[in-house]
Amino acid sequence: MNHSELKAKALSNPNVKVAYDEMAPEFELLRQMLKARQTAGLSQADVAERMGTKPPAVTRLESSLGNGKHSPSLATLQKYAHAVGHQLQVKLVRP
């Protein structure tokens, strides 16, 4: 079974689908962060240096958005955005 088949099977469970959909904003932010880092041509170590932290902290930050186990602060997200040459924007939208 490949990844797409496994994902489709998992999402056929209504409880899994609800949990997955609730994490959509985190998944989207993670995709944007990884794309920004890649576009900037930076490694996690490069970003860590620019943020004034250690590489494992950047690894944890990026992985936390994919597993939903930790919610980084806005200050941390702003530092990351600045480190990859971007600006963080936060806005409220109606569902």
The mean pLDDT of the chain is 92
* Centroid of chain to Cα 37: 11
Sign of torsion over alpha carbons 82, 43, 2, 19: negative
Q: In the chain, how many domains are there?
A: 1
Query: CATH number, domain at 41?
Result: 1.10.260.40
Determine, yes or no, domain membership for 25: yes
Determine, yes or no, domain membership for 92: no
Give residues with Cβ within 8 angstroms of 6, minimum separation 6: none
Give residue 22's pLDDT band: very low, low, confident or very high (50, 70, 90).
confident
Determine, yes or no, domain membership for 61: yes
Beta strands in 20-91 (DSSP E): none
Domain containing 25 equals 3-83
The pTM (predicted TM-score) of the whole model is: 0.81
Cα–Cα dist 40/47, whole Å: 10
Give the residue among 23, 24, 79 at the shortest CA–CA distance from 51: 79
pLDDT of residue 80: 97
